[in-house]
Amino acid sequence: MTGPAAAALRDIPVEALTAEQAATELHALADEIAAYDRAYHQDDAPLVDDGAYDTLRRRNDALEARFPELIRADSPSRRVGAPAAPGFARVQHVRPMLSLGNVFSDEELLEFIHSVRRFLKELRDDPGLPLEFVAEPKIDGLSISLRYEDGRFTVGATRGDGFTGENVTANLQTLDDIPKRIPGAPAVFEVRGEVYMRRAEFLALNERQQETGGKIFANPRNAAAGSLRQLDPTITASRPLRFFAYAWGEVSEPVGETHQGFLGRLQTMGLQVNPEARLCRTPDEMVAFCRELGDKRALLPYDIDGIVFKVNRLDWQERLGFVSRAPRWAIARKFPAERARTRVNAIRVQVGRTGILTPVADLEPITVGGVVVARATLHNEDEIARKDVREGDTVVVQRAGDVIPQVVAVVPELRPAASQPFVFPRTCPECGSAVLREPGVAANRCTGGLVCPAQAVERLKHFVSRDAFDIDGLGERHLVAFRRDGLIANPADIFRLKDHAEAIRGRERWGERSAANLLAAIEQRRKVPLERFIYALGIPQVGQATARLLARHYRSLAGWRGAMVEAADPASDAARDLDAIDGIGPSVAADLTAFFAEPHNLQVLDDLQGEVAAEDFAGPAAGAGSLAGKTIVFTGSLAQMTRSEAKARAEALGANVAASVSRRTDFVVTGADAGSKAKKAAELGVTTLTEEEWLALAGEG
């Protein structure tokens, strides 16, 4: 599946797609939605906002409606949530925990009411027959199921994928809203509902988390989910979790005749039922309730994202049943995200720990849906340009449950006359290094990896990590502390820590022995293999495999460094040579040359080279000596082996396999139908070998 190709299809109206295109897109949608579901349900860290997610799901539904024969076994429409995460025991739901269909307007709500009327014969035949619904606020929390046996709370589980959830009984037992006993309950009684956090309690939790360096949650839902899914129940106990009951699962006897009656019964059992729940007798009352609750929304102590309407008569619910993952007897009427207008006081650009530059709008503080917001993310350079957001602009901001709101649009008529388009910085606001915009990606990245304070700890951590310099005993905590106290700013400083031995020994939690061990571990790394040295620099996209390719190709640190500096000129031989290394594409090459074009990085490298040495790449053992370090290009089809196998063998013998012919190529092996590369070899005077000659040279002939 090609991501970009499938993504491009998304702009084509569903009616205009061919079946083949629809199949491609359904595959991509299944993968993408599954990834978002995992992030949301298992990691409690959503990757996209709800609006974007809903758009994908609706597109999937529309495609499936037009091409029912293409519905996939792994279709998101057949799934609810994400599979239970490892770490908790599993619980099978005897009655599956399903999801709800959504509507976004009064018209769609009325259409839903009609669909219920059309489904049940007596309602279809008699338009005068009343059809009542119970309306309940839709809290964006985490749905759970509580099992009571003979009145005792026995098992509590998350929804999981709807069929199997996680056993979080011990954690649920810590909630005040969950009774441990329900005298007089049926022998088997499963209550379902929503675990949630109040807005003010959520904000206070985030403040505590901030102080203690804990995880900051994006919204109350994530905080509730993260708090419930703790392996240690004492953590859950310390979190302000609450519970509203609104449904049932397996029950040993009927729960009543109406949903309203059921809710009343839950209350007498000591369960919390949302006090806003209301019986609606007519469609007009339903629409009016939407308006009423919408107006009241910001005043409620918790965030709601809509209203759930449920057919009141339970015998009708039973007959209406389910279609795929949602009941026919209930619907969620979603509210639009809450919006407000305010002024952009300034646009700041923040540098993250990986060097990505993120623009942020400082706003004139304003209340949006009950939360004061003073900042909004502007995502990236393209987003600012697309919306043309400027300092001084009045903008519409929206909060979709999350604390950090989005800037939806500029209000053009309120733009000050003297306003200027925002100019995205070309140098890093933290360290002044050049900013690199990678081709095809919206992100801008600071190239001062080794010097940028925003990235410093991350880079130092990488530098000492096991596959890099592998320095034992220098964990993140120490790096942060040493950096804060001015003992280390860049990698070379690590090798000068020995000059501060006294200071280290005197630090809290350090003693004679631990300090001596650390300094000894550092001394052992004064010389490391070239590929580790390259990897340790943390150049974007240069992982271990690429570092090894580079080490093998350039053999020495001096050779590599010289070539990288030279390769900044795209017309140079060095640039062509870099380009010809098999396995190094244009975007990696761009990151490499950008790193070496940044003077700060060269200073840090000089400094580092003053302290440590890189061992030249050790080619494979003698015997195959004639190929070690040689650059080979294969062209045409080989008779005795595939191109991949030939490449693997050549590399095993210490050769570098390149994709294109340059002056630095040593041999071009020409198979059948060799084309332009053979010609180029002849032009450049590079030795060409037949397949047999190559095999002989490789010791296989």
The answer to the question of residue 308 lying near ligand IVH (CB under 6 A) is yes
For residue 275 the two structure tokens come to 């006090």
Q: How, if at all, do strands 357-368 and 371-377 pair?
A: antiparallel
Which CB, 194 or 598, lies closer to ligand IVH? 194
Which CB, 308 or 460, lies closer to ligand IVH? 308
- Among 246, 289, 422, 535, which residue interacts with ligand IVH (rule: CB under 6 A)? 246
The answer to the question of residue 393 lying near ligand IVH (CB under 6 A) is no
The answer to the question of residue 25 lying near ligand IVH (CB under 6 A) is no
Which CB, 137 or 369, lies closer to ligand IVH? 137
Other C-beta atoms within 10 Å of 234: how many? 10
Q: How, if at all, do strands 164-166 and 90-92 pair?
A: antiparallel
Q: Alpha-carbon Rg of the chain, whole angstroms?
A: 32
Q: How many residues are given for the chain?
A: 701
Which CB, 99 or 665, lies closer to ligand IVH? 99
Where are any strands of DSSP class E within 215-311?
A: 242-251, 278-280, 304-311
Which residue of the set 121, 138, 310, 334 is catalytic? 138
Q: How far is the CB of 87 from ligand IVH (least distance, A)?
A: 21
Which CB, 100 or 518, lies closer to ligand IVH? 100
Alpha helices for 476-620 (secondary structure H): 476-484, 491-494, 501-505, 512-523, 530-536, 544-554, 557-566, 573-580, 586-597, 599-611
**Gap between the Cα atoms of 418 and 493, Å rounded:** 48
The answer to the question of residue 241 lying near ligand IVH (CB under 6 A) is no
Q: How far is the CB of 97 from ligand IVH (least distance, A)?
A: 7
Q: What are the CA-CA distances from residue 86 to residues 89, 323, 468, 544 (Å)?
A: 8, 29, 31, 29
Q: How far is the CB of 337 from ligand IVH (least distance, A)?
A: 16
The verdict on whether 138 is a catalytic residue reads yes
Q: Is the distance from CB of 613 to CB of 627 less than 8 angstroms? A: no
Q: Is the distance from CB of 659 to CB of 631 less than 8 angstroms? A: no
Q: What are phi and psi of 688, to 5 degrees?
A: -110, 145
Which CB, 145 or 342, lies closer to ligand IVH? 145
The answer to the question of residue 688 lying near ligand IVH (CB under 6 A) is no
Question: Does the CA dihedral 10-11-12-13 come out positive or negative?
Answer: positive
Q: Which stretch binds ligand IVH (CB under 6 A): 326-334, 405-413, 453-461, 462-470?
A: 326-334
The answer to the question of residue 554 lying near ligand IVH (CB under 6 A) is no
The answer to the question of residue 528 lying near ligand IVH (CB under 6 A) is no
Largest CA distance in the chain: 95
Query: What is the residue whose two structure tokens read 């005040």?
Result: 176
Q: Which stretch binds ligand IVH (CB under 6 A): 55-63, 98-106, 221-229, 688-696?
A: 98-106
Q: Residue 361 carries which side chain, given as an amino acid letter?
A: A
Other C-beta atoms within 10 Å of 499: how many? 10
- Among 63, 82, 98, 557, which residue interacts with ligand IVH (rule: CB under 6 A)? 98
Q: What are the CA-CA distances from residue 485 to residues 274, 481, 500, 507, 677 (Å)?
A: 53, 6, 12, 11, 57
Where are any strands of DSSP class E within 414-519?
A: 435-437, 444-446
Query: What is the residue whose two structure tokens read 């992030």?
Result: 39
For residue 182 the two structure tokens come to 């329900």
The answer to the question of residue 588 lying near ligand IVH (CB under 6 A) is no
The answer to the question of residue 32 lying near ligand IVH (CB under 6 A) is no
The answer to the question of residue 330 lying near ligand IVH (CB under 6 A) is yes
The answer to the question of residue 247 lying near ligand IVH (CB under 6 A) is yes
For residue 600 the two structure tokens come to 């700060």
The answer to the question of residue 594 lying near ligand IVH (CB under 6 A) is no
The answer to the question of residue 190 lying near ligand IVH (CB under 6 A) is no
Which CB, 164 or 626, lies closer to ligand IVH? 164
Residue 266: Cβ-neighbour burial (10 angstroms; 0-12, 13-18, 19+): buried
With CB atoms as reference, the residue minimizing the distance to ligand IVH is 143
**Gap between the Cα atoms of 342 and 559, Å rounded:** 56
Identify the bridge partners of residue 394 per DSSP, sorted by sequence position: 343
Which CB, 278 or 532, lies closer to ligand IVH? 278
If binding means CB under 6 A, how many residues of this protein chain bind ligand IVH?
14
Q: How far is the CB of 246 from ligand IVH (least distance, A)?
A: 4
**Binding flags for ligand IVH, 121-160, as an x/- string (CB under 6 A):** ---------------x-xx---x-----------------
- Among 9, 30, 82, 100, which residue interacts with ligand IVH (rule: CB under 6 A)? 100
- Among 42, 60, 77, 99, which residue interacts with ligand IVH (rule: CB under 6 A)? 99
- Catalytically annotated residues: 138
Residues interacting with ligand IVH, by CB under 6 A? 98-100, 136, 138-139, 143, 194, 246-247, 308, 327, 330, 332
